[in-house]
Amino acid sequence: MDDGEGNCSKRVHIATGQVTEYVWDHHKRLVSVIDRLSEGDLGSLLAFRLLMSVSGESCHRGNSDPRAEGTFRINHSNPALKMNGFDRPDLPYQLGRFVSKGWGTKFAVDFMNNAEKTVTVARVDPSATRLLVLKGQLVGASGWGLDLIGCSVEALIKPPEGRVEEFLKKRACTEFCARDAAGRGQSPRSGSTSATISNGSTETTRKSCGRSVRC
């Protein structure tokens, strides 16, 4: 599959669903090769629904990449607008284009232009029996006010010290979802193991990929 302009193409491995994305510049030089998870990934959908059900807020779902100084990003082209709560006003947004000729409308939000900077990130493994949860801080964003093509709405997240390697390298788990923790004093529902809002005064132990970790 390609974007119609020759700038980006995808190859899908039928047996595994693994997606490899190839990106070229306008001189037809290969500039990046990105391994994506299956775009129909059930684990991603489960993490997405778990976070929304517990928090009462929408999520930003996308692909993850490591960044400098122990951070990682979650990048996609269509962020959610109800990340402060389904009963709260939409986040401000801008419309953009997915490819340079204007095909494929997308929208962008400015994650840093929001009072709450605490986020909860979750992944569910392919067997749908294990959950990995991490709490972090938004430290940067990209996509707002820029005419960028492709998936270019980015949330830059700083996890607790020493946790980024675990989250990015644990291939048993699938892609990420993130949401703004609106800080409205919610607590976990009975039996839930997904992410919940934390005010920093308590530390909750959750089950993560076969063992207990602290988030």
pLDDT, tens only, 146-187: 877 777 788 889 988 877 777 776 644 444 455 544 444 333
3-state secondary structure of 47: helix
Who wins on pLDDT, 6 or 200?
6
Has residue 209 got a pLDDT over 70? no
**Burial letters for 54-76: b for 16+ Cβ neighbours within 10 Å, e otherwise?**
bbbbbbbbbbbeebeeebbbbbb
C-alpha to C-alpha distance for 56 and 20, rounded to whole angstroms: 33
- Give the single-character DSSP code of 92: P
Measured distance between the N- and C-terminal CA atoms of the chain, rounded to whole angstroms? 39
CA–CA dist 68, 190 (Å, integer): 38
Cα angle 87-174-66, degrees, rounded to a multiple of 5: 90
Conformation bin of residue 160: beta by default, left when phi > 0, alpha when psi is -120 to 50: beta
Q: Is the pLDDT of residue 59 over 50?
A: yes
Q: Give me the residue spans of the domains in the chain.
A: 1-36, 41-184
Q: What are the tokens at 140?
A: 């940067």
β-bridge partners, 37: none
What is the pLDDT at residue 139?
92
Residue 5's pLDDT is 52
pLDDT at residue 101, as a whole number: 74
Residue-wise pLDDT tens digits, 8-46:
666 655 444 456 667 766 677 766 655 555 455 677 778
3-state secondary structure of 53: helix
